[in-house]
C-alpha cells in the first residue's frame, strides 16, 4: 500500500461527521481593532502585571497542579456566593464544561437529548453532535425573546437530559424574562432533566439566576450554573466553572480529565479574584460605554434595528451585512457577521462593547461601510 493510500485508509477511521465539519475559526487580527469576540479591552495595570509575573515565575512548573485548585474553588465560591450544599467543577473555559456535561449524560444504547433556544451559543449543538446526543433547537421569537409555549412543548415531547438557557444569550445579548425562565426550569424538572444556566456574560447583566437558586433551593435543585472568567477579563487564561449540587458535581468530576487546569491558569485566576475590584470597575465602565454605543447605533442612518443589550456585545441589523462586514474589515475593524448562523439573524452583525476610543473607531467604520 502506498503512503497516500495508507493515509487515505487511516483517515477513513475518523468519523464521517467529523470529517464533514469545519474547525472553529479565529479571524486573523494583526493590525486590526478586534471587536469580534467580546473580549475585555482593558489590560492589567502595570503594577499588577509585575506582581502577577513574579507569582507566575515562582510556580513549580515541574509539578502537576495540586492543592491550589482547592484554593481556587474556595475563592470562586466566595466570589459567586455559592449556595449551601453546592460544589464547583473547574474547566478549561466553559467550552470544556459543556463537553463534560454532554459526556456525562450520553447514555450508551439510548440517545439522550440536549435542548436549547436558538440562535444561541454554537458549542451547544456541537457538543451534542460530538458526544452522541440528539439536539433539539427551539427558535426564539423574531425579536429574540423566548418562545415559552414552544419551549414547554418541546420539553414535554423530548424530555431532554440537558436544557441550556444562556443568561444573557449569545449572540443576541438578551436577558430573558425571569418568570418565563423559571417556568421552563420547572418543566425540565418535571421530566427529570438538568437545566444549565450559562452565565458567561454575568458581569454585564442586571441579574443572575444564582439568586433564585439560593431563594428556592428545592425548586431549582436540578439547575447547574456555568460561568467563565473570560468575560470577567481573563479570556487568555481559559478558566470556567460549574456550580451545582454536590452530588451532581461529584458525578461530572468523574469525566473531567486529570489536571485540566494548569498551575498557571489557576494562579492567574486566584490573582484576579484577589483584585476583583479592578475587574468590577472595568465591567462598570463597559456597561456605561454600552449605553453610549447603543444610543449611537439606534440613531445611525442605515441601522435597521439595534437590540438592547445585557452583555458586552450589541446586535444590529443592516441592509447588507456582508458588505458592511467587508467594509469594516477594509477599515481595519473586525466584527462578527452572524447572519449565516440562523435564519433569524439575517443581515445581523455582532459588535463587541469596547472602551470609548474603540467604540468610536468601530462606529466610524460601520457608518462608512453601510
Residue 287 has pLDDT above 60, yes or no: yes
- Give Cα separations from 162 to 103, 156, 174, 298, 335 (angstroms): 11, 13, 21, 37, 31
Q: What is the mean pLDDT of residues 7-27?
A: 88
- Residue 316, SS3 per DSSP: strand
Fold for the domain defined by 64-274: 3.40.640
- pLDDT greater at residue 9 or residue 182: 182
- Give the whole-angstrom CA distance, residue 228 versus residue 212: 19
CA–CA distance, 315 with 265 (Å, rounded to integer):
31
- Residue 112 vs residue 111, higher pLDDT: 112
Task: Give mean pLDDT, residues 330-359.
Answer: 98
pLDDT digits (tens, 9 = 90+) for 162-175: 999 999 999 999 99
Confidence of residue 1 (pLDDT cuts 50, 70, 90): low
Please determine, for residue 129, whether its predicted confidence score (pLDDT) is greater than 80. Answer: yes
Q: What is the pLDDT of residue 2?
A: 63
Across the beta sheet with 223-228, what order do the strands follow? 86-91, 240-245, 223-228, 194-198, 162-166, 113-118, 134-139
From start to end of 36-106, where are the E strands?
A: 86-91
CATH 3.90.1150.10 fits domain 27-46+277-369 = yes
Say if residue 24's pLDDT is above 90.
no
Closest CA to 211 of 225, 232, 229: 225
The percent of residues in the chain predicted with pLDDT above 70, rounded, is 99
Per-residue model confidence (pLDDT) at position 188: 98
pLDDT at residue 347 greater than cutoff 60: yes
Cell 433539539, residue located = 136
pLDDT of residue 52 exceeding 80, the answer is: yes
- Other residues' Cβ atoms within 10 Å of the Cβ of residue 256: 20
For range 32-48, the mean pLDDT:
96
Strands 348-352 and 336-337, by their bridges, are antiparallel
Residue 22 has pLDDT above 90, yes or no: no
Q: How far is 345 from 170, CA to CA, in rounded Å? A: 12
pTM of structure: 0.94
Percent of the chain with pLDDT over 90: 92
User: What average pLDDT score do residues 224-249 get?
Assistant: 96
The per-residue pLDDT of the chain, averaged, comes to 96
All CATH 3.90.1150.10 domain ranges in the chain, comma separated = 27-46+277-369
Q: What is the pLDDT of residue 26?
A: 80
Instruction: Please state the rounded mean pLDDT for residues 44-60.
Output: 96
pLDDT value of residue 4: 86
Residue range(s) of every CATH 3.40.640.10 domain in the chain: 64-274
Amino acid at each position: 500500500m502506498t503512503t497516500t493510500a495508507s493515509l487515505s485508509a487511516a483517515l477513513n477511521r475518523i468519523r464521517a461527521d467529523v470529517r464533514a465539519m469545519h474547525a472553529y475559526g479565529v479571524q486573523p487580527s494583526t493590525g486590526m481593532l478586534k471587536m469580534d469576540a467580546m473580549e475585555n479591552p482593558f489590560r492589567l495595570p502595570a503594577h499588577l502585571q509585575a506582581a502577577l509575573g513574579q507569582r507566575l515565575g515562582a510556580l513549580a512548573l515541574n509539578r502537576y497542579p495540586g492543592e491550589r485548585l482547592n484554593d481556587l474553588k474556595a475563592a470562586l465560591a466566595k466570589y459567586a456566593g455559592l449556595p449551601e450544599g453546592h460544589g464547583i467543577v473547574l474547566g478549561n473555559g466553559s467550552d470544556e464544561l459543556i463537553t463534560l456535561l454532554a459526556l456525562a449524560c450520553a447514555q450508551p444504547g439510548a440517545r439522550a437529548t440536549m435542548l436549547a433556544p436558538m440562535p444561541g451559543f454554537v458549542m451547544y449543538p456541537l457538543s451534542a453532535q460530538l458526544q452522541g446526543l440528539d439536539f433539539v433547537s427551539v427558535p426564539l421569537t423574531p425579536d429574540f425573546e423566548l418562545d415559552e409555549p414552544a419551549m414547554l412543548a418541546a420539553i414535554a415531547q423530548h424530555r431532554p437530559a440537558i436544557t441550556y438557557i444562556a443568561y444573557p444569550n449569545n449572540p443576541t445579548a438578551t436577558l430573558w424574562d425571569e418568570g418565563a425562565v423559571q417556568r421552563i426550569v420547572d418543566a425540565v424538572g418535571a421530566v427529570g432533566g438538568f437545566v444549565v444556566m450559562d452565565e458567561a456574560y454575568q458581569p454585564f447583566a442586571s441579574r443572575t439566576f444564582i439568586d433564585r437558586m439560593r431563594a428556592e433551593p428545592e425548586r431549582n435543585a436540578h439547575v447547574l450554573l456555568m460561568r467563565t472568567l473570560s468575560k470577567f477579563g481573563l479570556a487568555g487564561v481559559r478558566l470556567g466553572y460549574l456550580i451545582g449540587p454536590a452530588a451532581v458535581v461529584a458525578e461530572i468530576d468523574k469525566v473531567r480529565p486529570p489536571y485540566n487546569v494548569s498551575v498557571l491558569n489557576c494562579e492567574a485566576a486566584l490573582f484576579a479574584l484577589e483584585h476583583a475590584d479592578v475587574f468590577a470597575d472595568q465591567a462598570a465602565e463597559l456597561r456605561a460605554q454600552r449605553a453610549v454605543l447603543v444610543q449611537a447605533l439606534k440613531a445611525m442612518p442605515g441601522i435597521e434595528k439595534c437590540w438592547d443589550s445585557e452583555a458586552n456585545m450589541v446586535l444590529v441589523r443592516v441592509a447588507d451585512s456582508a458588505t458592511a462586514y467587508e467594509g469594516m474589515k477594509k477599515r481595519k475593524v473586525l466584527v462578527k457577521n452572524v447572519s449565516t448562523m440562523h435564519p433569524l439573524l439575517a443581515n445581523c452583525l455582532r459588535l463587541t462593547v469596547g472602551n470609548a476610543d474603540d467604540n468610536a473607531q468601530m462606529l466610524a467604520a460601520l457608518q462608512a461601510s453601510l
